[in-house]
Structure 1
């Protein structure tokens, strides 16, 4: 989806500076979400855990919105007009409901539970997202991935993947990006990534072998889930630095619990992120905004959307300043 905040934060994000070491005892930082309305008097409200002051990146994952379960009759559902993206990939993953995606590649696709849609913005793309009339409850996550410098101006692309569930030890795992639990997603990414939905039965415990060169984040959707030695509540994200080869995940609830596991090696490049754009300088952002407002061919057009485009917010009255991950104590 688009970041439709009226006054979006201007962020310059960098690689972690916390000196993660393989010999460090694993520990978990708990990141709480802030609530953001996505436009309109009956706005769909989302819980945003990335970026925030205490952490801006987990691997190349740079944005995480978690929404629902939302009664569409009360909220109006999702209705995001054509909006632009640069320098990133978007990952759409639903738990319930259905969303129609259209983009300037000419793609028209439905986003359904258990099916991943990944769109590459690269040099420029635009898209719209609208929940379908048969959707009564909308519930899912929207994730963004920063593209590395050598690929940030790559061509537009769209991929769809339906991962087969892996069932083990009272859990069900759907790996939509990367490798976990003996299964590997065929979806192409530009940096190593991990993305998986994990559903745990009541009281279930799971030891997940993971790449120790990755940092990881576990975003809890439902239930109380213990990650290593820390209990995470719904809408909290637990961060684990590099150096951990096994993640122990336990459902502390007497009902099923669900979470999304993200991972990747620390992203070593400086990036600037504002609204729906990722660049390498303030000037990159200014140029992208100007070209979107001028209906430049850079972004193309979404065909079949019954309405106008989403205008860009005003830029901050200042140069975007650096902001990175603070050192871990």
Structure 2
């Protein structure tokens, strides 16, 4: 997925919740065009840029493809990150400069950009509803120039306290995903039956983010209802991300009267500074300028084999890079990890 927010508006702030939990308010971002599919973006934001090394969280759907046109994202580049795609409904064809792959519900697709890769994403013709998340992981400096690659994994559902757990990144509940990560991370889908409780031992060195996709869940005393968080008499809009700080040895989730689905993201606090602009992650303004220049060369001449590789289909449509801002790009860091 391409980040069309070249100069994203900053969020108004983060609401504090019991136990130092943070509530991150999303903003709506159209993917482009008058009938564009809209995503709800919680990371990056003004007060928090990371949960672990997770640095970009887009939640979308259920989206009526007949109305919105679905996902139509032509070829675009990435550097210095991994993309993690997880679908609840629909099918997306992913094509990158290493090959072509299909994304289906319950199957994780992890693309490592490393030194550079380009890819496109289009919902398939038979997809009527599109629903899922697109996530980015910042690569640490020691790994950000690693070779580009693509991995696919189908996690097996396991039962924990009557809930269903699917671990697509990292380890949880005795399950381990084999996909490659370069910092300690966790990504899992949790499905809770009505009126149930789920107690999950977690890595106390991890920050954790909870995104409720459906139902009502109480997370360590904070109620999240259909994506709406309710605590101490206050409410917030659908699609928010509730972040628990490092130091908790377990998460206790309770569902309401309907089944609930939660996305759980976690990781050790990411302490490096990054420069993030468009679809690039680097370490300096000048480095990002160079990434942009190289992509523009490839965009204007598809036969170029450079940092981003070449699509198998020479006719693949690609997006031009936006103009650079007039001021120098500023770095992002995990300010919460410093406190």
TM exceeding 0.5: yes
Give the match's secondary structure for 1:94: strand
Q: Is the 8 A contact 1:176 1:195 kept in 2?
A: yes
Give the match's secondary structure for 1:47: strand
Q: Is the 8 A contact 2:274 2:332 kept in 1?
A: no
CA distance in 2: counterparts of 1:250 and 1:50, whole angstroms = 25
Equivalent residue for 1:302, pick from 279, 300, 311:
311
Equivalent residue for 1:258, pick from 242, 257, 261:
261
Correspondence 1:91 to 2:100: no
Corresponding residue for 1:128?
120
Corresponding residue for 1:32?
25
Corresponding residue for 2:60?
67
Corresponding residue for 1:282?
285
Correspondence 1:273 to 2:276: yes
Where do 5+ consecutive residues of structure 2 fail to align?
Answer: 11-17, 228-238, 299-303
Cα deviation per residue 1:117-161 (whole Å; 9 max; x = unaligned)? Answer: 000000000000000011000000000000000110000110000
Q: Is the 8 A contact 2:169 2:186 kept in 1?
A: yes
- RMSD of aligned Cα (Å): 1.8
CA distance in 2: counterparts of 1:264 and 1:298, whole angstroms = 29
Count of equivalent residues: 313
Q: Is the 8 A contact 1:10 1:320 kept in 2?
A: no
Q: How does 1:208-219 map to 2 (within 5 A)?
A: 208-219=200-211
Equivalent residue for 1:119, pick from 80, 104, 111:
111
Give the TM-score normalised by the residue count of structure 2.
Answer: 0.89
C-alpha deviation, 1:27, in angstroms: 3.4
Corresponding residue for 2:251?
247
Of the structure 1 ranges 240-249 and 226-235, higher mean CA displacement relative to structure 2 is found in 226-235
Cα deviation per residue 1:261-299 (whole Å; 9 max; x = unaligned)? Answer: 011101111111111000000111101011101115111
CA distance in 1: counterparts of 2:316 and 2:169, whole angstroms = 33
Higher relative CO (Cα under 8 Å, sequence separation at least 6) belongs to 1
Structure 1 residues 10 and 268 mapped into 2: Cα distance closer, same or farther (>3 Å)? farther
Correspondence 1:8 to 2:7: yes
Cα deviation per residue 1:183-235 (whole Å; 9 max; x = unaligned)? Answer: 11111111110000011111111111000011110111112221101112411
Q: Is the 8 A contact 2:167 2:188 kept in 1?
A: yes
CA distance in 2: counterparts of 1:146 and 1:325, whole angstroms = 12
Q: How does 1:35-54 map to 2 (within 5 A)?
A: 35-54=28-47
Equivalent residue for 2:196, pick from 192, 199, 204:
204
CA distance in 1: counterparts of 2:176 and 2:268, whole angstroms = 17
